């Protein structure tokens, strides 16, 4: 098995929205804001090469939205999904599976693209199975008012119409050790219904793709919960249990949204679980 970080782009989000009730004077220490109160956010995906299977976890925003839409998110840098795949030595047609942690636009937007004449949509990974779970899929196609702006029809419905949609079979447990894709999955409900957090066994280490359970290293303290979470009081115990397990078992946490920290470990302290070490992907994956 080999792992590759895939940089699908960078953008900015309101720091207050990213940290909920936590005052700016606190979160600004770890995630400094610009003059517009925006903080740097990454769309760092993960590619797993395992035998004949090439699995992409998440896909960033994609590039099919309008200039007005992207203007809301202050895109920066020159990273893109296609360029990052090419740099890793792969083409979109090589991807056999796309695993979507959840269907918010900044996680699944790259799965669907315009067709050549821009009259409709098609899959960016035409040879790939696309994986979600049945509970979350239903949640996304029948969205609540709070999340409706994050579940974009053009990102979701073409996947179903393509015939490539597959559901991870759930055992009913919060953590499912074995899935069809060869890695474990933790199901979490605080951010959105049945967000999936992959746990990958890699060369004697456990790599956990954090998605929005822990968007940045600055979110480690328990009260530091995003304003975007639909059930923040559920995020608290989910995050607490996860971080305790991560510290106990020395897991390596792959941060999807932290623009400046790629992989971290955590440790127990008198103040609770806190940051231990930071690593680049190159240090862990090579």
pLDDT in tens, 109-152: 999 999 999 899 999 999 999 999 999 999 999 999 999 999 99
The band of 174, judged by pLDDT with boundaries at 50, 70 and 90, is confident
The band of 172, judged by pLDDT with boundaries at 50, 70 and 90, is confident
* Average pLDDT rounded to a whole number, residues 44-60: 98
* Average pLDDT rounded to a whole number, residues 262-286: 97
Q: Burial letters for 80-92: b for 16+ Cβ neighbours within 10 Å, e otherwise?
A: bbbebbeeeebeb
Per-residue pLDDT at 162: 96
The band of 61, judged by pLDDT with boundaries at 50, 70 and 90, is very high
Taking phi over 0 as left and psi of -120 to 50 as alpha, with beta for the rest, 106 belongs to: alpha
* Average pLDDT rounded to a whole number, residues 46-64: 97
DSSP state of 214: S
CA distance 77 to 75: 7
- Residue 68, pLDDT above cutoff 90: yes
CA distance 177 to 179: 7
* Average pLDDT rounded to a whole number, residues 231-239: 98
- Residue 156, pLDDT above cutoff 80: yes
Per-residue pLDDT at 5: 98
State the pTM of this model: 0.96
CB 175 within 8 A of CB 185: yes
Q: List Cβ<8 Å contacts ≥24 apart for 113-120.
A: 113/62, 113/63, 113/64, 114/64
Return the structure tokens found at 245.
Answer: 């397990």
CA distance 237 to 214: 13
Kindly report which listed range (171-175, 220-224, 246-250) carries the lowest average pLDDT score.
171-175
Neighbour tally for 24: CB within 10 Å = 13
- Residue 178, pLDDT above cutoff 90: no
CA distance 93 to 82: 11
Per-residue pLDDT at 65: 94
* Average pLDDT rounded to a whole number, residues 241-270: 98
Per-residue pLDDT at 275: 98
* Average pLDDT rounded to a whole number, residues 164-183: 89
Look over the chain and give the mean of its residue pLDDT values, rounded to a whole number: 97
- Tens of pLDDT along 79-121? 999 999 999 999 999 999 999 999 999 999 999 999 999 899 9
DSSP state of 169: P
The band of 179, judged by pLDDT with boundaries at 50, 70 and 90, is confident
């Amino acid at each position: 098995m080999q792992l590759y970080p895939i940089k699908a782009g960078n953008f900015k989000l309101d720091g207050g929205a990213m940290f909920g009730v936590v005052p700016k004077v606190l979160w600004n220490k770890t995630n400094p804001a610009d003059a517009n109160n925006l903080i740097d956010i990454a769309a760092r995906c993960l590619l797993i090469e395992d035998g004949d299977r090439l699995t992409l976890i998440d896909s960033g925003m994609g590039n099919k939205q309008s200039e007005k839409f992207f203007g809301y998110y202050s895109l920066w840098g020159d990273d893109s999904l296609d360029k990052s795949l090419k740099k890793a030595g792969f083409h979109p047609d090589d991807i056999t599976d796309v695993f979507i942690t959840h269907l918010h636009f900044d996680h699944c937007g790259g799965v669907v693209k315009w067709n050549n004449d821009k009259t409709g949509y098609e899959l960016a990974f035409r040879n790939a199975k696309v994986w979600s779970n049945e509970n979350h899929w239903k949640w996304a196609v029948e969205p609540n008012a709070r999340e409706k702006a994050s579940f974009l029809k053009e990102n979701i419905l073409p996947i179903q119409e393509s015939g490539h949609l597959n559901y991870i079979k759930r055992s009913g447990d919060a953590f499912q050790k074995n899935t069809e894709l060869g890695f474990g999955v933790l199901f979490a409900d605080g951010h959105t219904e049945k967000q999936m957090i992959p746990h990958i066994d890699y060369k004697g280490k456990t790599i956990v793709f954090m998605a929005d359970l822990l968007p940045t290293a600055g979110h480690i303290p328990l009260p530091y919960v995003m304003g975007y979470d639909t059930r923040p009081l559920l995020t608290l115990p989910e995050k607490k249990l996860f971080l305790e397990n991560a510290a106990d078992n020395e897991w390596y946490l792959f941060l999807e949204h932290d623009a400046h920290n790629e992989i971290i470990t955590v440790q127990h302290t008198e103040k609770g679980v806190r940051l231990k070490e930071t690593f680049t992907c190159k240090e862990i994956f090579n």
